[in-house]
Structure formats: C-alpha cells, structure tokens
Structure 1
Amino acid sequence: MYLEHVNLVVADIDAMLHFYRAAFPHWKIRDEGRGEWYGKPRKWLHFGDDYHYLALSDHGEGNNRELAGHSVGFAHFAYVTSNLDAVITRLTSAGYAIAKPGAEEPFRKNIYFVDPAGFEVEFVEYLSDIPAERNLNQDQVRVEEY
C-alpha cells in the first residue's frame, strides 16, 4: 500500500506549479480539466509522476491555517529525496525561502518550505538504510542514554 495522491484546494494553480516544478523537475501534468465542486466552478489538474501526484483545484477561498498556531488541520507533508542539497538549490533559485531548518539528526537531514498556497512541505534525505536509525530522533537518544 502507498499514498497515491494528495488533493489540495488552492487559489492559484500556476503559482503552485512553479513551486512544485522546481522541487520535482521530472513531474508532469498527468491530467487536467474543469468541473464543479459543490456548486462552484473549478479548474483542476494532477501533477506528478507515474506513481504519485498532487491533485490541485483552483476554487480555494481565504487563507490556509496558521502554521505556527494550534488550529486543527493539515500541518505538513514530507517527501524523501536522495539529494536534499539539490532540492534546496532548485527551490531557492526559483525564489522560495527556507521556512525553517530541520532538526539536527545523525541519520537524516531535512528542511521545510511553504508552498504558494501556504502548505508546509518537508524534504528529507536519509543518511542510513537501517529503519531503526532513520526513525530515531534526538529525544529518543537522550531518553535511552539515561
């Protein structure tokens, strides 16, 4: 079993495509169309590869939830990469600032960006192929040391 897609309602599909094309240069528009969602017209598209995609719809209104707050809602989603530095270079070169640095961990490095719709996206590179090490965090190390 695997995650096939994430459906994001946004205000500006073109801005989203700019961000995600920088992050995933090998992705393409898989399908697109127009329709109605609960009585409101919308444009939609699927942007991804053969196995995973983002479903984007342009009928969004208002702002996304405050990421630093405690409101119920989507906090972030993450993508694994084999070259985090390349992702950072592509996104910063495209004009996107790092939203927050990742944690200092011995077996992975990560970074967070916020896309044009206000969704926080984590990119992570694992430095070990051992699951116990990949899933370890510094809090666990400190607890286990005592």
Structure 2
Amino acid sequence: MNGTILEHINITVRDVDRSTRFLLAALPDWRVRGEGRMDWFGKPITWRHVGGDGFYVALQGGGEGEMTDWRSHRLGPKHVGLVVPSVDAAVARLAAAGYPLDHWGGTSAGRRSVYVIDPDSVQFEFVEYLSDDIGVRNAYDAA
C-alpha cells in the first residue's frame, strides 16, 4: 500500500435488503462481501458489507429517525461519493430499478456527477472522471 485510503463507511439504514438493492442497482460490479446479525446496544440488527475486495459500504439495519437533509446546516455527512465508469449508465440502471435522480452535480473538463437519494434519504453522488490528468480532475475552480 502506498498511503492512506478510505476502506469503508458505515451507514445506519432502516432496511439492509432495500439499501443493498439500491447499491447493487447502481454498481453492478459490487457484491455482498459479508453479512450477519448482532446485538447493537440491546437491539438485534442485521449488518452487511457491500463493495469490492478492498473497500465497502457497511450497512447497519434497524435505523430510526430521519436522515439529515443535505440542504441543512445540521452536523453529519451530506453524501457518499462513488466513482463510476459512466454517470449516464448509473442513472439509467437506477431509473430502471425505480430510483430517480435528485439533481445533476457539477460538470467540468475533468468530471461530471449526479446525485441520487436512496429510500432512507442517504444521498449518493456518482462521479465520472473525464480525464486521466489529476490536475484537470481536481480543477475545482472550473467546476
């Protein structure tokens, strides 16, 4: 390994199966890496890891309450960004599975993106890079 990488993010959801369907609809090259049941501070929950060999989204079931609205100023994550080979293909797969896009993100010479909100109100940003040049990809003033 050449440095620090993000291995996983843990998201509490209401329904692990429903969230798994969402992720696999958007990302057909991902898979369920592992799953199980456990007691989470007095409440039985289901958990599942969905991703690839070196990374995953940890889904933890039994969620309660409401997710932070991405437009608010409340603390907490606003979205999860995932790189895909084609934003258009991801949008088409999600639409076919019943998940409409929320809004298009920025487009620049180096990237374009779209935001989709899953059934538990978790916002995902799907990013397609249009250049292999890191400087072009990361030209934030052009976004």
* TM-score for both structures, normalised by structure 2: 0.91
Greater radius of gyration (CA): 1
Count of residues in correspondence between the two structures: 140
Match of residue 88 from structure 2: 85
Match of residue 30 from structure 1: 33
Higher normalized strand content (fraction of residues): 2
Q: CA deviation at 1:141?
A: 4.7
2:105 maps to 1:105: no
The runs of 4+ residues in structure 1 deviating greater than 2 Å are none
Q: Deviations over 1:27-81 (max 9, x none)?
A: 2211111111122111111111111111111121111012211111111111111
For residues 116 and 54 of structure 1, the distance between their equivalents in structure 2, rounded to whole angstroms, comes to: 16
For residues 14 and 134 of structure 2, the distance between their equivalents in structure 1, rounded to whole angstroms, comes to: 38
Q: Residues 35 and 111 (structure 1 numbering): CA distance in 2 closer, same or farther, change over 3 Å? A: same
**For 1:127-142, what aligned pairs fall within 5 Å after superposition?**
127-137=130-140, 140-141=141-142
Q: CA deviation at 1:82?
A: 1.7
For residues 34 and 84 of structure 2, the distance between their equivalents in structure 1, rounded to whole angstroms, comes to: 24
Q: RMSD in angstroms over aligned alpha carbons?
A: 1.5
For residues 3 and 60 of structure 1, the distance between their equivalents in structure 2, rounded to whole angstroms, comes to: 23
- The unaligned stretches of length 5 or more in structure 1 are none
Q: Residues 127 and 59 (structure 1 numbering): CA distance in 2 closer, same or farther, change over 3 Å? A: same
Alignment equivalent of 1:46, drawn from 49, 54, 57: 49
Q: CA deviation at 1:106?
A: 2.1
SS at the partner of 1:64?
coil
For residue 68 of structure 2, what is the amino acid of its counterpart?
R
SS at the partner of 2:91?
helix
- The unaligned stretches of length 5 or more in structure 2 are none
Identity %: 40
